[in-house]
Amino acid sequence: MINKVTIAIDAMGGENSPKKVIDGIELSLKENKENFFKLYGNKDQLNVLINKKPEINNYCEIIHSENYIKDEESPLTAAKKSKSTSMWQSIESQKNDKSQITLSAGNTGALFLLSKLILNMVDGVEKPALAGLWPNKIGMNVVLDLGANIKCTDKNLIDFSYMGAALHKALYPKIEPIIALLNVGLEEIKGSEAIKKAYQHLKESNKNDFKFHGYIEGNHIMDGNVNVIVTDGFTGNIALKTAEGTANFITKNLRKSLNKLSILLSYKSLKQFKERLDPRNYNGAILLGLQGPVVKSHGSTDAIGFAHSINVCHKIVKANLLEKIKSHLFTVDG
């Protein structure tokens, strides 16, 4: 067991939990047996599910939590009763060295607030950020912040750049991180004061482990010329959701435009294309900047999506993301 990654899971959060959590664990074990799962939640419900799947029993430990945080609760209401909840306890387990990472499909606002309450900030980082994966032409982008911080200073954007590059390196170790700041134009004079200052800093920084590309506009996010895209949480959230909405609009209308025979004749390549765009295949947003990694699975994803977020957790711990972030932040520039 010595090399296994221990993942604390808030087993009660999100739609169809805890069933999808257990199904997701089962799926993930088919690919990778190097994880051990500490499941926080209702013992009775979890036991019923696990007893049906004896092959995953050895990889799980159930820890009973009296309560859980509902998806519709406000973060502040959630915080009041929080210590008895599966979410709180799954995060706290990292502090007691009982786990190396926390995974939850529950209430995003509450997960963000409790993580900040329980885990300390990495020294030198002012605000944590939520980072997500977004496909591009040749691979995968890390995009942050996706909604944790409505307003950002230049310092925040610089921190996000370094943390995003460290995350990309952890998830895709063979690829050089190339950072870009999302902006409304490519000229140095464009954008807010915070963006312009962050641009100057990153341009003059002299780190060995990533490149700085400059600004990027929204229509080039998926071109593959950069792979770490940095913006404030307001813009990032709206950009990501606008892309989701556009993709849905087009694929739905397109399905209507193709008759059955057309679909049949291009079945294999259409299937590959569909898989490439399937959000389950990049499910798992990562909360960066805390002294312990926390991964948020989409609340409405299924077992396949949940299994993907387990895989993200595994890679983050194996790559020692936290140390990578610290070394990025403390490398002296210039």
Q: Are 91 and 115 in contact (CB under 8 A)?
A: yes
Of the candidates 275, 294, 299, the one whose C-alpha atom is nearest the C-alpha of residue 15 is 299
How many residues touch its own copies under the rule CB under 8 A: the total is 52
Interface with its own copies includes 137 (CB under 8 A)? yes
Task: Give the whole-angstrom CA distance, residue 3 versus residue 324.
Answer: 19
Segment interacting with its own copies, rule: CB under 8 A, options 27-35, 180-188, 197-205, 305-313: 180-188
237 touches its own copies by CB under 8 A: yes
Q: Using CB under 8 A, pick the residue from 258, 323, 327, 330 that binds its own copies.
A: 258
Options 259, 332, 333, 334; binder of its own copies; rule CB under 8 A: 259
Q: Is 320 helix (H, G, I), strand (E, B) or coil?
A: coil
- Which stretch, 153-161, 202-210, 228-236, 315-323, contacts its own copies (CB under 8 A)? 228-236
Strand-strand pairing, 60-64 and 178-182: unpaired
Q: Does 249 bind its own copies (CB under 8 A)?
A: yes
The yes or no reply on residue 273 touching its own copies (CB under 8 A) is yes
Instruction: Give the closest residue to 228 by CA, choosing from 275, 160, 177.
Output: 177
Q: Is 272 in the site for its own copies (CB under 8 A)?
A: yes
| Residue nearer to its own copies on the CB measure, 40 or 282 | 282
Binding of residue 269 to its own copies (CB under 8 A) = yes
- Would you count residue 164 as binding its own copies (CB under 8 A)? no
One residue of 56, 98, 201, 234 binding its own copies per CB under 8 A = 234
Q: Is residue 15 a contact point for its own copies (CB under 8 A)?
A: no
Cα→Cα distances 179→164, 232, 321, Å: 8, 14, 17
Q: Binding of its own copies at residue 241 (CB under 8 A)?
A: yes
Under 8 Å between Cβ of 289 and 159: yes
By CB under 8 A, tell whether 270 contacts its own copies: yes
Identity of the residue, 51 or 259, whose beta carbon is nearer to its own copies in the bound complex: 259
44 binds its own copies (CB under 8 A): no
Q: What are phi and psi of 282, to 5 degrees?
A: -135, 30
204 binds its own copies (CB under 8 A): no
Contact stretch for its own copies (CB under 8 A) within 25-33, 163-171, 240-248, 287-295 = 240-248
Contact status: 330 vs its own copies (CB under 8 A): no
80 is a contact residue toward its own copies (CB under 8 A): no
Give the one residue of 48, 217, 327, 330 binding its own copies; rule: CB under 8 A: 217
140-144: strand order across its sheet: 60-64, 35-41, 5-10, 101-104, 294-296, 285-288, 129-135, 140-144, 228-230, 178-182, 211-216
Q: Please say which residue, 65 or 235, places its beta carbon nearer to its own copies.
A: 235
CA 315 vs CA 33, 142, 220, 319: distances in Å = 13, 14, 27, 6
Sign of CA dihedral 72, 312, 168, 101: positive
- Residue at token pair 């299994």: 307
Which of 32, 120, 200, 246 is the binder for its own copies (CB under 8 A)? Answer: 246
Torsional class of 134: left (φ above 0), alpha (ψ -120 to 50), beta (otherwise): beta
CB atoms within 10 A of CB 61: 14
Binding residues for its own copies, rule: CB under 8 A, are 137, 147, 150-151, 182-184, 191-192, 217-223, 231, 233-235, 237-251, 253-254, 256-259, 261-263, 265-266, 269-270, 272-273, 276-277
